Amino acid sequence: MNQKKALSRRKFLGNAAAIGALGALGVGAVVSSCSRRPTYVGPTFPDQAPDGQRLRAGVIGCGGRGTGAAINFINSGPNLEIAALGDVFEHRLDRCREQLKERVGVEVPDANCFTGFDAYQRVIDSDVDYIILCEPPYFRPRSFEAAIQARKHVFLEKPVAVDPVGLRQVMAAGRMAESAGLYVAAGTQRRHQRDYVKTFEMVKNGAIGDLVSANCYWNQSKLWHVNRQEGWTDMEAMIRDWVNWTWLSGDHIVEQHVHNIDVVNWFFEKHPVKALGFGGRHRRPTGDQYDFFSVDFVFDDNRHMHSMCRQIDGCTNNVSELIFGTEGYTNAQNRIWDYNGNVIWEYEYPLGDDGEPMNSVAISPYDQTHINLVTAIRTGNYLNETQNVAESNMCAIMGRVSAYTGREVTWDEMMNSAMRLGPENLEMGPVDIPAVPPTPGTAPA
C-alpha cells in the first residue's frame, strides 16, 4: 500500500517535470538540426493577452510607476481588473485613484484602498490574483515574499532589493514561486521590447561573432528630490525623497542602471563575478547617495563590461548599451555595425500613418511586459524572471559596494554578505541614518 503510494507520487513528480520541460521549450528556443550553427528563434510577443479567467490585480506602491504599471496592466488585454490599492501615503493613493479614473476609467472602492506600512499585506489579503509591486525598492523583498506565500502572480518592478540580504530573500521567493507554479515578470522591460529581442536573436545567431566586451551607460540629468517640510518625521521625509537615500533606492546604479547591466547579462548569458568601481557626489541636494559611478565588471572568463551612470545636470547624457563581438558590434537595441563603420543590420520598425517607419516598437515594452505575463498565466506557458533580475540587481549592488568602499568586490562575497540597509523599525518617526555619503577607503563593506 505504502509502496504504491510512493510510486504514484513519483509518477506525479515525473509528470510535473515533463510539463515543466515542455513549458521551457515553448518559451522560444527552437533548435534546427540542419544548419551548422543551430538557429535560435526568439519569442514572438502577442499584441494583446488572450481572453481568459478574470484577473484581479492589487497595486502596492501607488506612485508614478505603480500608477503607470496599473494602466499597463489594464491595457494588456480583456477581463482585467484593478481591485485593490496600497501605499504608505494617503496623498499618493488619492492621486493614483484620480489618474486611474481619468485615464482608464477604473474606480477602486474605498474598502479596497489601504495606507500605512501594512498596506502591502492588506492588498495581498484582499482577494486578488496578481500583485503589482512598485514600492521603493527597500520594501520589495518582504512584499514579494508575502505575495508568493499568499500564492499570487507578481509583476516585480526593478530593482528588487537594495542589499544582499533582501536580494537573497527575493531569490528564494522566486524559487518558491517556481515550485508553486506562480508567474513572475520583472520590470526590466527591455527583455519585453521587440527591437531588443530581435537584436538578441541576431547576436545569438552569430551576427557579431563571439562576444568580446560591453559598455553600458545611464547618464542623465539630475533626477528629482523633495525638500523636507515642517512637521514631517525623518521617515516621512526620507520616503518622500526616496531616490536620494541608499537604504530606500539602492542608489541610482541599482535603481536605474540595473536596466543596462541587465541587458549585458542577458546578451552574455551570464553575470559578472567581480567589480571594481568608483563614484562620488558633487551636486545632489538631499540624501546620502552618490551622483556618479564608473565600474569595471569582470565575468568569470575575464571578459569585461564597463558601466557608467550619472545624475548631474549640464553634462553629456547617454542611456544605452554597446556590445562588441569578434566580427562587429551592436547597440543591443536595433542596429549592428561591422568594424568598418557600416551598418550591417537594422531593426525594421513598423510604419506610421505617414508611411514612414516609426521610431518605436509597435507595443510599448511596459505594456508588453504585462501582456506577456497575462498571456503566460492564461496559456500556462510558464514565465518567471526573478532569477534574471535578481542577478543583475546583485551586480549593481556589487558595483555600488565597490565604489563606496573603494575595494574590489566579488559575487561570492555578495552572496554571503550580511549587509542589510535601513532602520530597525518601520514607523513614522526618527531614523538614525545621516545624510552623509560614504568615503571610499574607509567605509565598512
Binding residues (CB under 8 A) for another protein: these are: 2-3, 5-6, 9-10, 13, 16-17, 148-149, 164-165, 168-169, 171-172, 175-176, 178-180, 412, 415-418
Of 179 and 425, nearer to another protein (C-beta) is 179
Report the residue number, 41 or 180, with the smaller CB distance to another protein: 180
Closest CA to 57 of 3, 96, 92: 96
Is 76 within 8 Å of 85 (Cβ atoms)? no
Q: Which is nearer to another protein, 33 or 442 (CB)?
A: 442
Task: Kindly tell me which of 10 and 54 has the beta carbon lying closer to another protein.
Answer: 10
- Measured from the CB of residue 204, what is the shortest distance to another protein in angstroms? 25
For residues 69-87, one letter each, b for 16 or more C-beta atoms within 10 angstroms of the residue's C-beta and e for the rest, the string is bbbbbbbbbeebbbbbbbb
- Minimum gap (Å) between residue 160 Cβ and another protein: 14
CB of 6 to another protein, least distance (A): 5
Report, in Å, the least distance between residue 261 CB and another protein: 20
Buried b (16+ CB within 10 A) or exposed e, 228-243: eeeebeebbbbbbbbb
- The single-letter DSSP state of residue 159 is P
**Nearest approach, Cβ of residue 414 and another protein (Å):** 11
Instruction: Tell me whether residue 91 or residue 420 sits nearer to another protein (CB atom).
Output: 420
Give yes or no for a contact between 170 and 390, defined as CB atoms under 8 angstroms apart.
yes
How far CA 243 is from CA of 43, 195, 250, in Å, comes to 34, 29, 8
User: How far is CA 39 from its chain centroid?
Assistant: 28
Q: How far is the CB of 169 from another protein (least distance, A)?
A: 8
Measured in degrees and rounded to the nearest 5, phi and psi for residue 89 equal: -105, 140
**In the numeric block, which cell numbers belong to residue 337?**
555595425
184, HSE (Cβ side, Cα atoms, 13 Å)? 31
Nearer to another protein, 20 or 440 (CB): 20
| Choice between 301 and 313, CB closer to another protein | 301
CB of 174 to another protein, least distance (A): 8
Closest C-alpha to 213, from 139, 289, 135, 303:
303
